[in-house]
Structure 1
């Protein structure tokens, strides 16, 4: 009842009274419930202490309870604690681990890049009558590839193919393919892909997307399109990631017409672009100084109710407008952002501050700087140094002193009385 009322501290005190003072020991089912309830409430250490006492209470708690708690530790970023508990539990005979137990521990150490520990844990499985399953091998191969040991990952893949006991699946192959793609080794990636096809394993959308992305980043859009065509021929439906990746590849190569053709092709599959797709195309138009097209896509994004505007999408548009001297239009973008609940970041403010300075609208630049500080967005050295340079050119040394004090943290913008210079300048933009 105390646990159900979220009074876990009281529940644990009562539990200690029950076991230490009255000598009443729990059974396995109750101990598992109490540990699980504590873990769900965030009392991970208390839950671990309870399960560690199982042998003392004469309980044989199922492996599920230990595995779930380990997973909770790993989910909170406490991988080393989870592994230490796991090894302590099995050494002390608290429970008999199963394959899932090892998979949880191996996944945790792989997440932090400790593949050597992962390999050691795989070796220890036999001590407890466990054999690596497909999940174990997929975790191990994925971990090796993430730390750029793709060759070792492929060795595991080949061993699985050779032994024939636990055959690799699409996840195993895709992990190795992804590792090679990230290293720019596209020939090796395609060799594994062809091997996959030859072994009768059907690639999925993730497999094709990884290959398309690899070729796109390598600037080889011909091969990227060839992979896409294979995807269609093998009746694997493309998704928004497929089209976003193709668009990104074309944009990297400066082929915006092909990117736009792919954007249109998306609608034929009734696939809607997501925030990432919009950010790719908007940034590319901004890089080519085509602000009208960038604004058109930003307006289309703002009309979508299922996508919240993000500062990193709007910043390139604000930047290209400011560089073109269109600061009033840039201000409107900011107002639309804030109207939709999108908070400007330090890059937004820096762009607007410098943009207004370049246009000679120093008072508005000062207002933006003050707003930046007041909203808790700390200016970095680039913002401060650029702004100071503009203020010095404008002959405003008193403002420079004020900005430097704010940047050093010795004062805030709200504590300072505006300088006579900034008071005398008409601020034409409401922010």
Structure 2
């Protein structure tokens, strides 16, 4: 008899004590074995399956993986049928089962996987009241994070206060959960105040936690406090702000039209030895363009290239995208062609947007000639595959058959599939023009991929 069969036999013939019966087997478990036993309990005996799963989770030499937690929750529909967790704990109580803290850790992990905040809180209370088992910091953290994700910050804060009464101290994971929760509900100022509490308890912060608070302050418009935190981070050793931190502050100032302050942060960024990236570039360039300050956007590109080492191609691509967004297609085209005639390489998004805009404006021939120019530059790999289909459809609809055939051959060479909803219209025109073999090859690309 195999291990799965042995476990199933002991599970179903337990004589009133599931855990005692299973423990007699002394199995060497693995995830495949566990899942097969769970399958034997589905769909008729879900409670028995969950009870086995909890027992298996703390056996010697085995721990559930993230996949097995997910599998168990989906198999027994725990998220939709939260009562099964309550029934599990109540069955322990009714049978007088000898439970331990490991069992409740597994139960809470199932609550975590199924995102059951209310049930997790009930389990926490039940283990203390009915089984006289005190929760540890890890168990509190599970419930606190679930409450925060559920928007129940008040309960999460009460649990943190309760921890100290039980001689437990919140750790970095605890504070990370409450900080994220506070920022999500628009209370980043309170999250910022917790940094002082963490210092009192000698709980170290990290860049991730500080960045969450900084981003929350920026989103809420508390810029004075955000700058205060940024200053603290710049003075810190391991928690110095990175490009994401600075860009978050820059973006917030840009949204408020405070360009001078945004540019001050850019200079401050450089002074601290942190260089901008393409997101920083787009944030500033796009904000200037939206406000009609295109000339300043052009000047800013030189600053990014010289002082921050961002490639000229990335900077110009950001400007091309921004010009398209403010309906300045001709100016975007001019800059794009300058890039192609020089050393700059346009990125995927800029190339695709320019071509798509030309097609939308019924300028498919301009789009085709631009595609050729991009191909001559060696940048065709930077075009989204659906753009080819849009362009081919447009050429076919306007009877530019020579150009359509040439584009179809380019697509065939690069194994670019013809996509719906442009597929049928283009195919009909190409077949009528005598290009049936080309169509057969082109429509066969997807099958061969």
TM-score, normalised relative to structure 1? 0.61
Structure 2: runs of 5 or more not aligned: 9-21, 42-47, 372-379, 401-417, 433-449
State the match for 2:187 in structure 1.
185
Aligned to 1:167, the other structure's residue is in SS state coil
Q: Deviations over 1:151-171 (max 9, x none)?
A: 22222222223x142211233
Q: Deviations over 1:258-293 (max 9, x none)?
A: 334433433444445456445534443443435525
State the match for 1:327 in structure 2.
333
Shift of residue 14, structure 1, vs aligned partner: 7.4
Q: Deviations over 1:55-111 (max 9, x none)?
A: 99xxx856157984363234579557485898898859899644542442232133x
Pick the aligned partner of 2:143 from 140, 153, 157: 140
Q: Mean alpha-carbon deviation: is it higher for 285-294 or for 144-153?
A: 285-294
Establish whether residue 105 from structure 1 lines up as the match of residue 110 from structure 2. Answer: yes
Distance change >3 Å, CA 81–CA 247, structure 1 → 2: farther
Establish whether residue 375 from structure 1 lines up as the match of residue 370 from structure 2. Answer: no
CA contact (8 A) 2:7 2:25 kept: no
Distance change >3 Å, CA 146–CA 280, structure 1 → 2: farther
CA contact (8 A) 2:172 2:203 kept: yes
Structure 1: runs of 5 or more not aligned: 1-12, 400-405, 421-431
Structure-2 separation of matches of 1:75 and 1:313: 44
Distance change >3 Å, CA 87–CA 182, structure 1 → 2: closer
Q: Deviations over 1:371-416 (max 9, x none)?
A: 999935799xxx99xxx9xx9xxxx9999xxxxxx99848435414
TM-score, normalised relative to structure 2? 0.59
Structure-1 separation of matches of 2:40 and 2:341: 54
Matches within 5 A, 1:302-317: 302=311, 315-316=321-322
Matches within 5 A, 1:26-37: 31-32=28-29, 35-36=30-31
Distance change >3 Å, CA 321–CA 298, structure 1 → 2: farther
Q: Structure 1: which 4+ aligned runs deviate by more than 6 Å?
A: 13-20, 50-56, 84-90, 92-96, 311-314, 331-336, 366-369, 371-374, 396-399
Structure-2 separation of matches of 1:166 and 1:125: 17
State the match for 1:226 in structure 2.
228
Structure-1 separation of matches of 2:150 and 2:341: 43
CA contact (8 A) 1:231 1:238 kept: yes
Matches within 5 A, 1:39-118: 45-46=35-36, 48-49=38-39, 63-64=58-59, 68-69=63-64, 71-74=66-69, 78=73, 81=76, 83=78, 97-98=102-103, 100-110=105-115, 114-118=116-120
CA contact (8 A) 1:134 1:167 kept: yes
Distance change >3 Å, CA 107–CA 335, structure 1 → 2: farther
